[in-house]
Amino acid sequence: MSKRTLRRAVRPAPSVPDFDPVVHQRVRLGILSALAAGGAMTFTDLKTVLELTDGNLSVHARKLEDAGYVSVKKSFDDRTPRTDYELTKKGSDALATYLDQMEALIQATRPA
């Protein structure tokens, strides 16, 4: 085994941080990202942007709501039910933490 190969072999693997399981899921991450950029959004707008089914979006939005990461406001728009989602401070902090963890992971795995 050459020196270079040996050096590569003994380099410690980068440790993967403990991600917030609520954020660390593609659909929920998409919802948080969309709300972070677009402010308050309706259920229909989120569904269109993220290309999700009603059921899929409902399930994941509920998990975010239960975690306190998004606030939900239900109303009627000329007899049509309307649901608005907005990122809470807690959700914004969770997304920021997740982004920091991702950045740190990229830094750790970047070749010296």
Which of 105, 64, 100, 98 is closest to 83 using CA atoms?
64
**Count of residues near another protein by CB under 8 A:** 27
Query: Binding pattern to another protein, positions 37-66, x when CB under 8 A?
Result: xx--x---x---xx----------------
Using CB under 8 A, pick the residue from 25, 42, 58, 97 that binds another protein.
Answer: 25
Cβ atoms within 10 Å, residue 31: 27
Which letter, b or e, does each residue of 68-88 get, where b requires 16 or more Cβ atoms within 10 Å of its Cβ? ebbbeeeeeeeeeeebbbebb
Out of 6, 16, 40, 96, name the contact with another protein by CB under 8 A.
Answer: 16
Binding letters toward another protein, positions 63-92, x by CB under 8 A: ------------------------------
